[in-house]
Amino acid sequence: MRKVLLMFLAMTTLGLVSCNSNDDENGIVIEGITITDDVDCCTAEEALQVYKFIQTVHILPELSIEVDGLYNVWAYAKSDTFHTGYNEIYFVATKKVTGNYIKNFDIKNLTPLMHMVKMDMYHSAPASEGVESFNDNYLAVRRGWVSFVMPTSQAGDWVLSYEVEVLGSTAQVEPAAITVDALPEGQAWVKSFKIDGKPYYLSVVNPIDFQTGVNTIQAYVSVQGENRELPYGAADETFTIEIDPRMPDMGNHTSPDNVALTKQTSGVYQGTVNLTMTGLWRIHLTVRDSQGNVVAGGDDLDNGYSSLYWDVTI
């Protein structure tokens, strides 16, 4: 931890953490450092876009690492702690001497692990099986995700680890202690169900970004393997996730123009949800297999809807 904090302070001193930028005839100057076109990354303008992006997220020093004394790999998130449910993690690699961003790097085996103290046992959580560049402007930024199934508490604590490769050099981030906060009361962004005794998890993507009106809704379906200490990867099966959003505080009224989530080529499930007003929405879920059979939810309980749902407030 001391080494990582020193790396972070050094980066701050170089002006790559908080500074203004301006054009220079030989590149783009960021607080005294000239970022030029770099064959290992991108154009100077693309590098500037990456720099601007990382000003919008929080650095995670405990998950950042130096690689072979040549490179730094920095981890970022939308806040300085994680929360129950879906969390995105961003990674950026830089050259240690020049500070230039590096496009050719990879993050593997992103592994969350919780130690259940009283039972002295361990379990993992749903996580992306790799990382990706998520925007043409951010070719030097990788994005992965973890969906934590429970918060840090006296009952258990979380660590997170991963492997990195940068221009042929490799390093391992050993399990680092992290904090996973509980969601605000009444929120539920990850739910589980079983098929033939096998646990599956439904993680809704960034529901905090939902707004009044029609929203694209995305989710991942993950499955726990035989070794529950390994990350829960994407389910091989193809499902359809039907949604019925209701407002429990407003007479359980629904909304029109909702579209079921279906599996995309990227593996994410995507549909449309119409949230017609602010407040608490309970998005009831019915999961069907490829033959159309209901395998979870849609069980028509006494309240008339489903025992499988996400709770989201806008």
The pLDDT assigned to 1 comes to 43
pLDDT at 5 over 90: no
The pLDDT assigned to 35 comes to 59
3-state helix, strand, coil in the chain (%, to 5): 10, 50, 40
Instruction: Using a pLDDT cut of 70, give the percent of the chain over it.
Output: 86
**What fold characterizes domain 190-313?**
Immunoglobulin-like (2.60.40)
Tell me the two tokens of residue 192. Answer: 């589980």
User: For the segment 46-66, what is each residue's pLDDT rounded down to a tens digit?
Assistant: 788 888 999 999 999 999 999
| Average pLDDT of the residues in 127-141 | 83
| Average pLDDT of the residues in 128-132 | 93
Contact 147, 87 (CB under 8 A): yes
- The span from the CA of 201 to the CA of 193, in Å, is 7
φ, ψ of residue 56 in degrees (nearest 5): -95, 0
| Average pLDDT of the residues in 35-43 | 68
The pLDDT assigned to 34 comes to 59
Model confidence, pTM: 0.88
- The span from the CA of 278 to the CA of 314, in Å, is 5
What is the three-class DSSP state of 144? strand
Residue 112, judged by CB atoms within 10 A of its CB (0-12, 13-18, 19+), counts as: buried
pLDDT at 21 over 80: no
Nearest to 272 by CA among 248, 251, 256, 252: 256
Contact 261, 217 (CB under 8 A): yes
Contact 134, 141 (CB under 8 A): yes
φ, ψ of residue 108 in degrees (nearest 5): -130, 160
The pLDDT assigned to 112 comes to 98
CA–CA distance from 157 to each of 98, 105, 116, 178, 288 (Å)?
38, 30, 7, 8, 34
The overall average pLDDT reported for the chain is 88
User: For the segment 79-97, what is each residue's pLDDT rounded down to a tens digit?
Assistant: 989 999 999 999 999 999 8
Q: Would you kindly state where each structural domain of the chain is located, as residue ranges?
A: 2-181, 190-313
| Average pLDDT of the residues in 139-154 | 94
Nearest to 126 by CA among 136, 114, 118, 135: 114
| Average pLDDT of the residues in 196-204 | 97
Cross-strand partners of 122? 115
